[in-house]
Structure 1
Amino acid sequence: MTASVVIAYYRGLPGLDVQLEALAAQDFDGPFEVVVSDNEGSADLADHLDRHPHRERLGLRRVDASGVPGTSHARNVGTRAAVHDFIVYCDQDDAVHPGWLRAMVEAGARADIVGGPLERDSLNEPVVAAWRELPAPEEAFVMGRFLPITFGCNLAVHRSVFDDVGGWDESYPTAAGDVEFCWRIQTAGYRFGYAPEAMVAYRFRTGLAETWEQALVYAREEARVAKQYGAPGRQWWWFPVHATVSAATAPVWPWSWSRRRLGAWLWISGNLVGRVAGSVRYRTIYW
């Protein structure tokens, strides 16, 4: 099989080069290209890619996706510009492992949409890596006690499936767009596949305020997509347990806390607040 790798881009230099180096090191021996879908409309990016040392190896090219803000729009534009029929998505600030593309393509021969695992240690300093847990890599993560999902930074789909379901929902510009896309494809009758060897090194936010905001927004928009698809979420007792853990570990004296402990607390508490906010905003109960 052949593949088109699509990267949604926004203000990603110089970090994008880490991902491009990782893509250049793939052990996949079939034809593939890398399409950088530019949601910024950056002249600097165009110039950078024109002079990139891996331009030929990667079949590297840029497409303009600056018309509508959001990762979902950039992925739609990049997919529609792709040459090959198997589309594989990764993000500008991560780094795919050497066997990533091969594993995704192999799994794509047996499934309509494919996901893979994330790891936190390669790109994050130990303090930041300890802030949050990632799903176990052995099998796909089931979101909201409903259906398996994969994250948008490690997802592949056949172009025919993408076209049939109408692409990414641009009313989800960033958070939960990947959950909605996975669930829409599966509820349309397509097969979900999982490639444990398709590992991606995932980069965390390093600022405390950024971490809080990300946790809150992710959880809030998860409530939205859960309501849309009727996902039941966790059982009722999860909320008081989560709230108790958050309260019991709250920083009474924040200046005496380590950055490791404070970051972990902000992630847990931001997730809790986001679920409450999402339940209120979208008029549902989702814990």
Structure 2
Amino acid sequence: MNPEVSIIIPALNSAAWILEQLESLNRQVDAPIFEVLVCDNGSTDETVDCVKSFHASFSLKVINASGVPSASYARNIGAQNASADILLFCDSDDYVNDIWVRELYNAYRLSGGALVSGAIHHNRFNSRRVLDAYDIPDDPKTLGSAVMSRDAPAFAGYLPTVPGGNFAFGKADYLSLGGMDSSYPGGAEETDFSWRAQEAGHSVVVAPRAVIHYRLKKTGRSIFRQQRIQQRARILLWTRYSDRGMNGPSTRYSISEILKSIPMLVKDDSRLAGMRVLGGNIGALEGIIKYRVLGKLGVNKKQ
């Protein structure tokens, strides 16, 4: 039988964890028929061999998506190769709950084809120390009973967004929008896509029971690098949406936060948080310089 859902997983050097994600998909309950496309973005480890050796209860394919080093590019290649009309997206290093496919699928159908965001939980893979570094609270005790909510919150002063590793959308609509923009340097592409979708007339809904368990970065160096790249990308996003009211960057704020982070770096209990603050604000300043936005900053605003 033809699948009703195609699950797109971008993967780059994911051998250490992708089997766990595939096993979570093996455990889906009351799900429609689905296929899984692992879109390999140029792995040099055993990712492809791991996927090919996995005994799946669903149709499992490896797609060559090595043309551009970008998760967005890999997602786009996956969408182009999908057999189903409904696309679900997750990442190779996370873990979906056992009703993830069902909940995203039902919310998509019930909403009449909206862009559907799932929920992100953090306790499964991350220590309290790491959660404190990101200032993330504990997961909710229960999932709740709602299939979906239309009360998606606005993001950065403009429209709602969806997580790039936990959403559903129609294949035709995804492709008509050109997919995700791989020019973003490792962040903000999901927000750009979400905003373009809404500007084209699509709504955003939330499926609160469609949970991914997310792996945060755990070392100071990896947290610093992640935040630096993501905040640099957010400046690029701002250059494209500042005229719609998106919150803008502030050189004064970023410099102040960098100075505040310095004493945090010498204390063991605050070092990871300090690396997050330092990396993010260095990235923001780099973005301001790279994308030449200094002349556009009429008013300093907190990011």
Query: TM-score, normalising length from structure 1?
Result: 0.87
Match of 1:264?
273
State the shift of 1:261 in Å: 1.3
Deviation string for 1:88-116 (max 9, x for gaps)?
Answer: 11001111122221111111111421112
State the shift of 1:158 in Å: 0.4
Match of 1:278?
287
Contact (CA 8 Å) 2:9, 2:38: kept in 1 or not? yes
Q: Secondary structure at the match of 1:171?
A: coil
Contact (CA 8 Å) 1:144, 1:226: kept in 2 or not? no
Deviation string for 1:73-132 (max 9, x for gaps)?
Answer: 111111111111111110011111222211111111114211122111111122222211
Match of 1:129?
131
Indicate yes or no: 2:206 matched with 1:194: yes
Higher mean alpha-carbon deviation, 41-50 vs 126-135, is at: 41-50
Indicate yes or no: 2:245 matched with 1:232: yes
Q: CA–CA distance in 2 between the matches of 1:151 and 1:19?
A: 17
Contact (CA 8 Å) 1:7, 1:89: kept in 2 or not? yes
Query: TM-score, normalising length from structure 2?
Result: 0.83
Higher mean alpha-carbon deviation, 9-18 vs 224-233, is at: 224-233
State the shift of 1:211 in Å: 0.5
Deviation string for 1:135-192 (max 9, x for gaps)?
Answer: 9989645322001111111121101111211112122253211111111111111111
- The alignment's C-alpha RMSD in Å is 2.7
Match of 2:146?
none
Contact (CA 8 Å) 2:265, 2:275: kept in 1 or not? no
State the shift of 1:210 in Å: 1.3
Q: How many residues align?
A: 281
Match of 1:207?
219
Contact (CA 8 Å) 2:257, 2:281: kept in 1 or not? no
Instruction: Summarize the Cα distance change of 1:262–1:50 in structure 2 as closer, same or farther, 3 Å threshold.
Output: same
2:9 pairs, out of 7, 10, 16, with 7
State the shift of 1:275 in Å: 2.4
Contact (CA 8 Å) 2:152, 2:204: kept in 1 or not? no
Gaps of 5+ in 2: 141-148
State the shift of 1:281 in Å: 2.3
1:150 pairs, out of 162, 167, 182, with 162
Higher mean alpha-carbon deviation, 16-25 vs 85-94, is at: 16-25
Higher mean alpha-carbon deviation, 244-253 vs 74-83, is at: 244-253
Instruction: Summarize the Cα distance change of 1:120–1:242 in structure 2 as closer, same or farther, 3 Å threshold.
Output: farther
Indicate yes or no: 2:118 matched with 1:116: yes
State the shift of 1:252 in Å: 6.7
Indicate yes or no: 2:90 matched with 1:97: no
Q: Secondary structure at the match of 2:50?
A: helix
- Identical aligned pairs, as a percentage? 27
Q: Secondary structure at the match of 2:20?
A: helix
Gaps of 5+ in 1: none
